[in-house]
Amino acid sequence: MLQILGKSTSINVRKVAAHTDPEAIAAGVSNWDRHMAILDGQLQRTGAFVTGGRFALADFLAQGRNGVP
C-alpha cells in the first residue's frame, strides 16, 4: 500500500503487451539512438545550442527528452 496524504492507496500497474515486446523495444532504442546522433551533430555544428548561438525553446525541449536534470 502507498500512503498519500495519510491514506492508504492501492495502485495497479497495467502492462501493455506492445510495451514489453523485445523487438519493439529494440526498434525504439535504435530510433532513439538515431535521433540523438542527429541532435549531437547539430550541437557540434552550432557549438552550443540546438538552433544556433542562443538558448531557445528547442534546447529546453531537448533537455527534457534526454532526462538531463
**Beta strand residue intervals within the chain, DSSP E:** 2-4, 7-9
Show the domain range for 58.
21-69
Residue 56: inside a domain, yes or no?
A: yes
d(CA 40, CA 17): 32
Domain count, the chain: 1
pTM to 2 decimals? Answer: 0.58
User: DSSP secondary-structure letter at 53?
Assistant: S
Q: What is the pLDDT of residues 53-63, one digit of tens each?
A: 888 888 877 77
Output phi, psi for 51, to 5 deg: -105, 5
What CATH number should be reported for the domain holding residue 69?
A: 1.20.1050.10
Residue 15 pLDDT: 72
User: DSSP secondary-structure letter at 18?
Assistant: G
Q: Could you tell me how many residues make up the chain? A: 69
Residue 69 pLDDT: 45
Give the pLDDT of the chain (69 residues) as one tens digit per residue.
555 566 665 555 567 776 788 888 889 889 988 988 888 888 888 888 888 888 888 887 777 655 544
